[in-house]
Structure 1
Amino acid sequence: MNKADLTKRPAEVASMFDEVSAHYDRMNTVLSAGNDHLWRIATTRAIDPRPGELVLDVAAGTGTSSAAIATFGAHVVAADFSAGMIEVGKARQAGNPRVEFVQADATDLPFGDDEFDAVTISFGLRNIVQPKKALAEFFRVTKPGGRVVICEFSTPPLAAVRAAYYGYLQFGMPIVARLASSNAEAYEYLMDSIRAWPSQPTLAGWLRDAGYERVAYRNLTAGIVALHRGHKPGRAIDGKTS
C-alpha cells in the first residue's frame, strides 16, 4: 500500500491515488456523509459553465465533477496527474463527448496561454507540492475576463465546530477508512493534509498574488469546506469587461 506524506512528492501522491482510483468516489461519499454531492453542486454553480465554453478541471480524478460541469453545455478538459484515475474516468465517461481526459502536472500545464474560460480544482490543491506555482499556471491558462473556482477543505471558523471536525479526522475517519477502503493509509494522509492546509484568508491571498481580482470565498458546511473564486483581469470573450 502507498501512503504519501506532507512532502507531497508527486510520484508518491500519484501512486497513492492510482491505488484508490476504483473506489475513490464511493469513499468520498462515505467519508463526507454524502456532503460531497452538495459541495459538487455548489462548485458547479460557482463556475457558472455556459454552452460553448472551455473549462479546465484540474485534479479531476475520475471526472465526476467534470461531468457535472459538462451538463451545462461546456466542454471540459479533465486533467489529473494520476494515470489510474484517468483510466477509471475514461471508462466511466466513455459516452460523454463533452469530457476530455488529459494526464497533466498542475504546476506545468500542457496548455497555451489564455486558453480556458474557467479553471477549477476540487479537493486537489492541497495535494500539490507547490500550490502557488499551480495557481500561477491556472492564471496563465485562464482567458482575460475568465474565472477560477477552488473547492477545498478549510478551517471551520467556530471553535466548537473546529474541535468536533478535527476529532472526526483524528478518530472517526481512520475507523471508517479501515472498514470501507482497500488503502486506509491513504486516508491517513488525507487527514494530515487537511489539518496542515492554510486558512481561507491565506488561500485568498495566494489567489491575489497570482494575479486574480475580485477574489472572494464562502464557507460550506460550517467552514469544513470553502469555495474560493477570482477573475483574471481583462476583457471577457463576450465583450464585457471583467
Structure 2
Amino acid sequence: MSDDKTTHFGYEQVNVEEKAGRVRAVFDSVANKYDLMNDLMSFGVHRLWKRHTIEISGVRRGQRVLDLAAGTGDLSARFSGLVGPDGQVVFTDINAAMLEQGRERMLDEGRVGNLQYAQVDAQYLPFPDNYFDCVTIAFGLRNVTDKQKALDAIFRVVRPGGRMLVLEFSKPTIKPLEKIYDFYSFSLLPKIGKLVTNDEDSYRYLAESIRMHPDQETLKGMMEHSGFERCDYFNETGGVVAIHRGYKL
C-alpha cells in the first residue's frame, strides 16, 4: 500500500476506501454463476485443491472453524461434516450476494445446526481472541484491501495450538506453464466470463488480481510477520495455486 492511501484493484490504482466496494460489485455481478464459472475456469480441478486443503487442515470433531470468503461454501460444507454436532463452523463472506448463495446451498443440502453465517470483512473480525481451532480463506485473500491487517486479525482469533490455511492463486513454478497460464488468463478467461455471466470486466479483474497477489515466499513471510510459526506451503498444479499453512503456538 502506498503512502497516499491508494491500493491496487487489479492493475488499477484506487483509493483504499474504494476497493472493498469495487470488489463487492465484482462478486455481486458473478454470484449466481460462481460455481459454474469455478468449474469452467479450473476445468474442475478447484475441487482437488479444496480437498487437499481439507485434508491438511487437521480439523476434527467438536472443533471451531472460521471459513472466511466462504463463497458458496465448498469448504464450510466439508468442515460441517467433520466437526459434527458438537462443533461450530462460521460461514462468512464480505459480499451479501455470495453469502446468500452459500446459505441457500447449505440449507438445500440440509446442513443446519453447527453452521452460523456472518457478513464479515477479513480485516476486522468480530470474534473473540483465541477462539477458533482453524481459520481458512480460499480464493479471498487477494481481494482484501490490506492483506497484512487480515493476517494479523486471523492470528488474533486463532487459539494457541490452532492454525490457518490460505488457498489462493499463486505464481507458477514451471516457466512454460507460466506463458500458457498468461495466455489463458488474459485472452480466454474474460471471454468465458462474458459468455457465461455477461461480465468480461470482472474476469479481467480476476486475472489482474492474481498477478498482484504476493508469491509463495512473500506470503509465507507475511504470515510469519503476523506471528504464525511452522509456516509452509504446498504448490498445486505447478504453482498456479498454493495452499499456505501456519500455526499459532
TM-score by length of 2: 0.89
Q: C-alpha offsets along residues 191-219 of structure 1, whole Å, 9 cap, x if unaligned?
A: 00011112100000000000000000110
Specify the alignment match of 2:167 in structure 1: 151
Measured after TM superposition, the shift of residue 87 of structure 1 is 1.1
Measured after TM superposition, the shift of residue 159 of structure 1 is 1.0
- Supply the distance in 2 between the matched residues of 1:105 and 1:195 (Cα, whole angstroms): 22
- Supply the distance in 1 between the matched residues of 2:148 and 2:205 (Cα, whole angstroms): 21
Measured after TM superposition, the shift of residue 183 of structure 1 is 2.1
Specify the alignment match of 1:99 in structure 2: 115
Specify the alignment match of 1:110 in structure 2: 126
* 2:111 alignment partner AA: N
SS of 1:48 mapped into structure 2: coil
* 1:81 alignment partner AA: I
SS of 1:160 mapped into structure 2: helix
SS of 2:56 mapped into structure 1: helix
What are the within-5 Å matches in structure 2 for residues 13-32 of structure 1?
13-32=23-42
- Supply the distance in 2 between the matched residues of 1:108 and 1:62 (Cα, whole angstroms): 21
- Supply the distance in 1 between the matched residues of 2:117 and 2:201 (Cα, whole angstroms): 27
Counting matched residue pairs gives 230
Specify the alignment match of 1:87 in structure 2: 100
Out of 2, 9, 31, the residue aligned to residue 5 of structure 1 is: 9
Which piece of structure 1 moves more, 127-136 or 14-23?
Answer: 14-23
Specify the alignment match of 2:4 in structure 1: none
Specify the alignment match of 2:58 in structure 1: 48
Report whether the alignment pairs 1:182 with 2:198. yes
Q: C-alpha offsets along residues 150-187 of structure 1, whole Å, 9 cap, x if unaligned?
A: 10000011111111111111112122212222322111
CA RMSD in angstroms comes to: 1.4
TM-score by length of 1: 0.91
Give unmatched runs, 5+ long, in structure 1: 234-242
Out of 44, 49, 53, the residue aligned to residue 39 of structure 1 is: 49
SS of 1:93 mapped into structure 2: helix
Give unmatched runs, 5+ long, in structure 2: 1-7
Percent of matched pairs sharing the same residue: 40
SS of 2:82 mapped into structure 1: coil
